[in-house]
Structure formats: structure tokens, C-alpha cells
Amino acid sequence: MKNFKTKLAGVAAAVSLSVGASVTFAADTIKVGVLHSLSGTMAISETTLKDTMLMLVDEQNKKGGLLGKQLEAVVVDPASNWPLFAEKARELVEKEKVSAVFGCWTSVSRKSVLPVFEELNSILFYPVQYEGEESSKNVFYTGAAPNTQAIPAVDYLAEQGVERWVLAGTDYVYPRTTNKILEAYLKAKGVAEADIMINYTPFGHSDWQSIVSDVKKFGSTGKKTAVVSTINGDANVPFYKELGNQGVSAEDIPVVAFSVGEEELAGLDTGPLVGHLAAWNYFMSVESDENDAFIESWHAFIKDEKRVTNDPMEATYIGFNMWVKAVEAAGTTDPEAVQDAIVGISVPNLTGGLSTMMPNHHITKPVLIGEIQDDGQFEVVSSTNGLVQGDAWSDFLPGSKDVISDWRKPLACGNYNVKTGKCSGQNFE
Amino acid sequence: MTICKRLASALLLVFMSLCGSTSYGEGNQTLFDEGIRLIETGKLKKVADGVDLLINSKHDRSAFILESMLESKLYRHKKQKQLVMLVEKNDKGLLIADLDSLESTRQIGKRKAKRIPLNNKLRGKIKGYLASQNLNADQVSVRKAAIQKLLSALDDETLALIKARALYESNPDVQLLIDTAIALDALQSENETDRLKAIPTLSESLEPAVRNQLTQTATNDTSKAVQLAAQSALEKIEDKIAFYGFVEKIFFGLSLGSVLVLAAIGLAITFGVMGCINMAHGELIMIGAYTTYVIQLMMPNSIGASLFIAVPAAFVVSGLVGIAIERGVIQFLKGRPLETLLATFGISLVLQQAVRSIFSPLNRSVETPDWMAGSIEINPIFSLTLNRLYIILFCLAVFAVLFLVLKRTVLGLQVRAVSQNRNMARAMGVRSEWVDALTFGLGSGIAGVAGVALSQLTNVGPNLGQSYIIDSFMVVVFGGVGNLWGTLVAGMSLGVANKMLEPVSGAVLAKIFVLVFIILFIQKKPRGLFPQKGRAAEG
């Protein structure tokens, strides 16, 4: 029944679109927007995703394009400047008339473009792990939510006998929210207040001497201690260097990081880091046919055998393929039709399984814990038994534990309180 | 099927360890072989069982196998399904040797063999085992590390080993550690007097394991006397810890301060002496750091020496870029500070983007030479990290050289003359234009040298300069414009203040407090800590 409805909606949309098609879509390519910073602070991470998108579009075109048309990637540079993200997003949707946008990295850039996509009713695929507590009709989150990254990582450490926790992060929204969730989660598991130490540092912090020394002291009480790190991007390099210099090894105090992947390690001598951990939904070292093929085509595209692949690249890959499949199912690139068609679509992920778009616009993924090796790769030491579904609203925060998100009709609400039965719109605080 | 196998191997393990002591010679080879067989599978869970078997087998080759595992040299040949030893990684793939005959090596492709996986638990277990093997090592440091490792997990077996060692230990440091270990064990004894006797020895030790044990004794011990003794011993230890904590904070502060001084001292010359606001100063630091990177690329086999070449190279490269900026832009904007500020800000953006285009926007990895990694351990709770120590010394050396240049050379004399009274200096025959260019070059060159030091502490990327420009201006303004001593004192005191505040307020607030303090300070003393006196100050 539901299928029939969506099909009907798709057909209706297609008809209405074909009427106006000659006016709106004069060109015979389908445009996709790529909204990643190519200059400024975030260029370091985002340039790779731009290249990934170009590669995916290229491959799709070699396979014959989409709906009989060629795809065309429209690349803009929001230059790590958050307000500029909103402007460029508007430019992509209004002026370039792109069918979907793939982009953003930091949460603040996503928050900045969110109103634009909602106003213009377009589609954004967001490929990076984030703090959750958000759900939008127009955004598809293909990265991890806290429950598909942070919580399984903490569970793994607890299994390894960790009793004392340092939650260290960069001072902005993602670490703050994640740590709030983790703190609530740990306390619910019976960890005492005195066994949790929380520490925030500014962006790009480079002098870690006192913090590492504090962590060392905190960890010398005889109880097994671990650091859960939401330290962002390149502040990690001096952090790990200081850990090495002060002689903190992974057997004594392991650090599990949520923002350190293969790309970040590429700029580091990983010798002293062996054994520290990271939690992701994908590692380059995972053995699967899809992954081998992906790495091969990435190296061919970028013409550099040394380049690594990482989790946000996989998320981009999944998001793009989901969009392609949804467009094929809907028979049109109309955002409204694609939004309906994409829920329930499954595509292969790179770890050898299938990822599915859920009604809350998050996807299902396996969670992997990896240990850093001396070649800059991760060795998977633990993985969840099955797939974990991304949760938009954390079950461990008092404000959001009763809230669910389901964009299927008739509910079609990103913020539905199951206790009060009310849908309070998207701007939930 | 697999469960059966695992169960079987677990049973074997229990059985063997039970009768291990009686049928020693027989059991150890069987256990060893079984362990090797499990490790050969390359599956983490089986490897874990295999490591247990190897340790229990007490086979004389166990230590060798486990050690090479720890150094990630143990590989599994995928086709032959057997363990091989990695000799080296090269361009063609892997050079390997068989476990039994390490001399005969052969070359295989990169993907033909896979390293035996390890996790932290296993690494800890292996290190613990190796530590007990290392008790009789020849090197004192190895013995010390071995006993320290064993302190946190003493059992009858390791204690017996330690006591055996005590009989012929000659090194006093190691002897002290052995005494600590024995006292730690005595603290667990049934006999109250034994426990009481152990405490004075323990109160001398700063090992975390000792403190944790004493904390437990102080609250849980059945005897009141022992509790009290433990408490006073703990207080003694805590006093020492507080003292070393304070010394450590000063050290951290000085090292942060020397980074600030290094970054600011070039600016103290261009801004302080010439009065020219150079927003591209940070990028000159960045160029110095990238020079280090390029030098390391050119001499990949002697990383240790690369820094000594990088220092003069960075000085020359950044100095030349600085002279080019001065000749190309700044000289035409003399006396117009606002325009200079905007123009140099523009230059900083150009330089950043140039680096992005040439080297890619990704951070480059600058290697740390071996002599700069690690730390000097003064005692178990206080150690000085070597890289910070060298940077403090380096900062003082740079400061001394610069000071001598300005005070003792002709160039220095002319620089001071021009900065004090340009017209008079020109009337005396000083080529002020030439001096300007050289001064700017000197300041920029010093910035480049700072870049070499920073490349060892932080990321080398296009944004390196931006993170230091504000701090540099802050230090120069706080210290007093035009005064090198001011820069040194200001940098060091800001560093120490920052590190004193950090544990109390957190890193974010500490930075804000320091900024607020400087704003208030500048309100009171607009000319900084060491204001210039005399006629030059009025200009």
C-alpha cells in the first residue's frame, strides 16, 4: 500500500515535472552540486570529498549516466566560511538548478545551509559523523550519529575493563553534544562522577603539555583509564606527539578518537601511536571486494598510489549511490519525489554489507573499532554484530529521549514526541 | 566447529598449565607448537589464545617470537600458511625470512603476507611477560623498566623472580625499586608488624602503584596503627607530588613562553624597531617550517642532521622573502600604517594560497629526529620532555645571537640609529633604505628559524602562521615596543601565567583571561612592560 502511494506520488511528480520541463531544464545534463571548502582551514579534509564526488560522477557517466542523461558536477568553494556556505548553497540551487547537493563538513556549516535547503526544498547529502539532535526533511545524514560511533566505542572500552574516563574535545558543538550524551550514558552505566574528567580545548590547540600531564595523573590511580577524544582535525597531531613524548602508551591509557582517520594519520609518524583506537563505520584496511574496487578506482582517478580512503569518503559513496537509485526509482530528479523514493533504498557499503536509508534520514551501518598500526592504517579489533541504525535523537539525553523522527507520510515529522504525541517542528531545542 | 577448536585449545591450555610444572620438558614443546599453530591463523581471537600458550610454555623461543610480534615483524604468508619474519619493507614489497633460518631472505609482493594482528590487551600481556624476562638484562634502564612494569601487577611468581634478582643486584636505583616491590608485597601480609615495617620504605617511593596501595591501606586496613602510618606516608608522598607538580607547571610555562618568544622575536624587530606592522609575519614562520619539510625531503636518510641544516636554510629563505616584501611593497607605504597593515594582510593570504597550490592544502609531516623524542625521567611522576627542553635552549640561543647582532655589530648599530632618528642617521651617512631592507630581512629570517622549531611541535600546514600572529603581536605589545628584553620577559611570563591558569580554568578560559589581562594592562601602561625612554620614544 505504502509502495503504491509513493509510486503514485512519483508518477504525479513526474507528470507535473514533464509539463514544465521544457522551461526549467533546458540543458540535457543533470546537475549535482558539490559544496566543499577548497580553501581555508577545512580544505585539508574537504578537498578529498570534492575529488571523491568528481570520481563518482565520472564513473556514473561512464555507466551511461542517469535517466539517459549525463551527470554534471557543479563545484563551488565556500572557503571554510560558514555564512558563505549558505550563499553558495543558494547559488547552487537557485542559479545552477542542481538536483541535489553533496557537501558540508563541520556542523556549523551544516546548520548554516539548513534553512536554505528547507526554504528551497532541495536535497543535501551530509557525509560526516555528527552530534545528532537534528532531523530535516531535506537533509540525508550518511555519516555516523553518536549511537553509530561514540556509544559502541565506549562499550568496547568498558568491555576491555576501562573504569575511568577522560572526555577530551575541541570546544564546539559536536564534541560538546557528544560528550553530554556520553556522560549521561556512562552515568547510566553506573560510572561515578569522580571517574569522569571532561576537558575542552580551543580549535587548533597545539600546547598539550598540561592536559596530557593531567590525563596521566588522572590515570595513575590504579583503575584502568581511557581517553575518549572528540578533538578535531589537526589539533590531534600535537596531542598524539605529546602523548608519545610523555610516555603514555596505548596499553596504559588508550585514546579512542572519533575524528582521526586515515587522512589525518597521513601527516603523522604513527610509530608512537600504535594501539590507540578510532571508531568509524569504515576503514581502508577492511577486506571486501567493494572496498578493493573503490580503492583501485580512487588511486586511478587521483593518480597517486599513496592516497588513502576514509570514512567520510565511504559516506559520500553511499549517499551518491542512494541518490542515484532513488532517482532511478522515482524516474525524476524532482527533490520531493526523490525524498519519498529514497527511504528504504539499500545500496552496498564498502565493508561488504548493505546500507539502508531509514525513515529518519539516517542510514544503517556497521560500527568498527580499529587500532592504529605503524603503517598509518587501522586494524579492526571489534565490530558490531549487525548493522546499527543512526539515531537522530539520542536516547540518553533527557530532552530528546522521547523524540523520534519519521519522514514517511502520514507522520512526516522530524521531531515527534511519543509521550505527548506532538510534532514540534524541526527547530527543536 | 570453531567453538569446538577454541574449547579444545582452552582445555589444552588449562591442562598444560596444571601439569606444566611436573612434565616440564615435554609440555613446553607441545604447548609452544600449539601456540604457533594458533598464531598462524592470523585471527585475533586465536592469536590471543596462542600468545597465552606461548607464555605458559616457558619455551626459550617464546620471548623471541613475542618480541617480534610486538615490533610488528611477525607476518603470515598467505599462500604457504606459515609464519615468516619481516626483514624490511622496500619498494618491491616485503623482504622476509623463515623463522628457523633468518639468514636466507626472500622477496615477496606487498599483499602476499599479512602482519599478525595484536590489540592493546595482548600488547600489555606480552610486555608484562617480556618485563619478567628482562629482570636479568644487562642494561640498567631495561631492568628498571621491567620492575616498574611489574610493580602494578605483583604476584608470587614475579615476586620470586624479583627476590632472586635482589641477591646480586649492584645498581642502587634498581635495588631501591626491588625494595619497594618487596615492601609492597609485605603490605599485603597477615602480620601487622610486617605491614608497619614496610611503610617507611614505601613512603620514599613516588611510584603510582605504591600510592594506590597505600591509599587502600589507609582506609581499609584492619589495624588502626597501620592505617595511621599509611596516612602519614601518603601525606609525605602527596607533598612531594604537589612540589613536583609546581615545578612541572613552571617548566610547561617556560616552554610555552619560549615558543611565544621565538614566534614574536622576529616581529619585535620588524614591528618594534622599524615600526612596521607586518601581518605576513606568521606566514614567514610558515615558510621556515616548510623549508624544514623540503630539507627533510632532500635528505631522507639523515633526519637527525636535517634540523641543523634547516635552521640556516630557513633563515635565508624567509629572510629573502622578507626582503622581497620590504622592497616590493612596504617601502612604498612608509608612514602609512593602515595601508601597510592591509597590504601585508593581503600578502599573507597570497603566501598561504601559494603554499596550498605548491604543497597541497594538506598538512605535511615533518619528522622528529630521534634525539628530540622522548623524555628525561627525573622520577616516576616528573619528567622533562626532550623536545620542549631543546626548544627552551634554542629560544635562548636565538635570543642571545640576536641581542649580540644588535648590540655588537655595525649592522646593529645602524639599525638602532635608523630606528631612533632616521633623518639624523641619514645625515651621518647611513643608507637608511639599505638598513630597512636588511632589518626586515633579519626579522623575517628569525621568523623562519622559529618556523623550524615550530615544525617540531605543531602541524606544518598553510594555516600555521595564522595561529601565531595574534600571540606574537600580544607578546611584543606587552613587552614594550622596540625592546628585545621586553619580548623575552613578556613571552616567558605570559607562558607561565597561561600554564598556571590552565589547570584551574581550562585551556579555553586561560587564553581569554590572559587576553583580558593584557587589554587591562595596556590601558594602564600603553607602552608595555619596558617602555622606550628618551627622544626615540616620542616619535
For chains A and B, what is the number of CB pairs under 8 angstroms?
A: 132
Question: Which residues of chain A does B374 touch, with a Cβ-Cβ cutoff of 8 Å?
Answer: 245, 247
Looking at beta carbons, which residues of chain B come within 8 Å of A379? 117-119
Chain A residues closer than 8 Å to B371 by CB: none
Contact at CB, B362 and A267, closer than 8 angstroms? yes
Task: Look at the block and give the residue holding cell 543512526.
Answer: A390
Q: Residue A267: its chain B contacts at CB < 8 A?
A: 362-365, 459, 461
Q: Does A244 touch chain B if contact means CB atoms closer than 8 Å?
A: yes
Put simply, whether B383 touches A (Cβ < 8 Å) is yes
CA angle B7, B10, B13 (to 5 degrees): 150
For B512, the closest chain A residue by CA position comes to A202
In a mutational test of the B interface, the residue from A241, A243, A382 whose CB has the highest number of chain B CBs within 10 Å is A241
Min Cα separation A170/chain B (Å):
10
Q: Rounded mean pLDDT of A23-46?
A: 77
Euclidean distance between CA atoms B93 and A12, whole angstroms? 58
Please answer whether residues B355 and B286 qualify as being in contact, where contact means their C-beta atoms are separated by less than 8 angstroms: yes
> Cβ distance B233 to B369 under 8 Å?
no
Q: Quick check: B328 contacting A, CB < 8 Å?
A: no
CB contacts of B463 in chain A (<8 Å) are: 41, 204
Of B119, B462, B503, the CB nearest to A210: B503
In chain B, what residues touch A238 (CB-CB under 8 Å)?
457-459
Nearest to A202 among B256, B377, B508 (CB): B508
Half-sphere exposure of B471 (CA within 13 A, CB side): 25
Q: What percent of chain A has pLDDT over 70?
A: 92
pLDDT at position A398 over 60: yes
Domain residue ranges in chain A: 2-144+289-365, 150-257
B101: distance to nearest CA of chain A, Å? 26
Q: What is A150-257's CATH number?
A: 3.40.50.2300
- Name the region of B419 (left: φ>0; alpha: ψ -120 to 50; beta: rest): alpha
B131, three cell numbers: 618485563
Residue B208 touches chain A, beta carbons under 8 Å: yes
The verdict on B506 touching A (C-beta cutoff 8 Å) is yes
Three-state SS at A72: strand
Give chain B's mean pLDDT: 85
pLDDT-based confidence at residue A154 (cuts at 50, 70, 90): very high
Domain architecture of chain B: domains with CATH: 135-222 (no CATH), 256-365+391-533 (1.10.3470)
Greatest alpha-carbon span in chain B: 100
Alpha carbon A75 to chain centroid distance?
20
CB A246 within 8 A of CB A216: yes
Quick check: B215 pLDDT over 90? no
Residue B388 touches chain A, beta carbons under 8 Å:
yes
**The pLDDT of residue B7:** 54
**Set of chain B residues whose Cβ sits within 8 Å of the Cβ of A200:** 506-508
| Ramachandran angles phi, psi of B114, nearest 5° | -125, 140
Cβ–Cβ contact B364 with A under 8 A: yes
Query: Among partner residues B123, B255, B364, which is closest to A275 by beta-carbon distance?
Result: B123
> Chain B interface, mutation test: which of A207, A276, A292, most B Cβ atoms within 10 Å?
A207
Confidence band for B283, pLDDT divided at 50, 70 and 90:
very high
Minimal CA–CA distance to B90: which of B118, B109, B114, B71? B109
Q: Which of residues 8-67 of B touch A (CB under 8 A)?
A: 44
Query: Measured between alpha carbons, how far is B350 from B489 in angstroms, rounded to an integer?
Result: 33
Task: Using CB atoms, pick whichever of A238, A266, A272 lies closest to residue B457.
Answer: A238
- B503 interfaces chain A, CB cutoff of 8 Å: yes
User: Which chain A residues are closer than 8 Å to B123 by Cβ?
Assistant: 250-251, 275
Give the residue-averaged pLDDT of B422-428.
Answer: 88
CB–CB of B256 and A242 under 8 A?
no
- State the helix-helix crossing angle for B62-70 and B24-40, rounded to 10 degrees: 30
**CB nearest A254 (choices: B120, B208, B256):** B120
Examine residue A410 and say whether the peptide bond preceding it is cis (omega within 30 degrees of 0). yes
Average pLDDT over residues A213-237: 88
Helix count (H) and strand count (E) of chain A? 12, 19
Q: Is the model more confident about A304 or about B25?
A: A304
Q: In A, residues 282-341, which contact B (CB 8 Å cutoff)?
A: none
Distance (Å, rounded) from C-alpha A400 to C-alpha A146? 13
In this complex, do A374 and B256 lie within 8 Å of one another by their Cβ atoms? no
Q: How many CA atoms lie within 13 A of A22 on its CB side?
A: 1
For residue A246, give the nearest of B363, B383, B502 by CB distance. B383
Confidence of residue B536 (pLDDT cuts 50, 70, 90): low
Residues 6+ apart with CB under 8 A from B8: none
Which chain B residue has the Cα nearest residue A271? B71
Look at the block and give the residue holding cell 580549535: A203
CA-CA distance, A265 to A74, in Å (whole number)?
Answer: 30
Are A2-144+289-365 and A150-257 in the same CATH fold?
yes
For A233-292, how does the pLDDT look when each residue is reduced to its tens digit (9 = 90+)? Answer: 778 888 988 888 888 888 889 999 998 889 888 767 787 788 899 999 999 999 889 999
Decide if A163 contacts A114 (C-beta within 8 A): no
Write the CATH number of the domain with boundaries A2-144+289-365: 3.40.50.2300
Q: pLDDT (tens digit, 9 = 90+) per residue, B58-103?
A: 888 888 888 888 888 888 888 888 888 888 888 778 888 888 777 7
- pLDDT band at residue B211 using 50, 70 and 90 as cut-offs: confident
A 163-202 residues inside an 8 A Cβ radius of B: 171, 199-202
The whole-number pLDDT of residue A248 equals 87
How close does chain A come to B460, measured CA to CA in Å?
Answer: 9
CB proximity B461 to A under 8 Å: yes
For residue B367, the model assigns a pLDDT of 85
Contact assignment for B252 to A209 by CB distance below 8 Å = yes
In this complex, which of B72, B463, B511 lies closest to A41 when CB atoms are compared?
B463
3-class DSSP assignment, residue A400: coil
A77 touches chain B (CB under 8 A): no
Average pLDDT, chain A: 87
User: What pLDDT score does B5 carry?
Assistant: 53
- Chain A residue numbers with beta carbons less than 8 Å from the beta carbon of B465 are none
Q: From B364, which residue of chain A is nearest by alpha-carbon distance?
A: A267
- pLDDT computed for residue B26 by the predictor: 44
Bridge partners of A139, per DSSP, are A124
How many angstroms from the chain centroid is the CA of residue B287?
A: 23
Q: Each residue of B310-368: pLDDT tens digit?
A: 999 999 999 999 999 999 999 898 888 889 999 999 999 999 989 988 987 777 888 88
Taking the CA of residue A14 and the nearest CA in chain B, the distance in Å comes to 43
CA of A340 vs chain B CAs: smallest distance (Å): 38
Task: Write out pLDDT tens, residues B94-145.
Answer: 888 888 777 778 888 877 788 888 888 888 888 888 887 887 788 888 888 8
Selected residues 259-298 of chain B with any CB under 8 Å from a CB in chain A = 259
CA dist A97 and A31 (Å) reads 7
- % of chain A surpassing 90 pLDDT: 58
Residues of A within 8 A of B208 (CB-CB) are 220-222
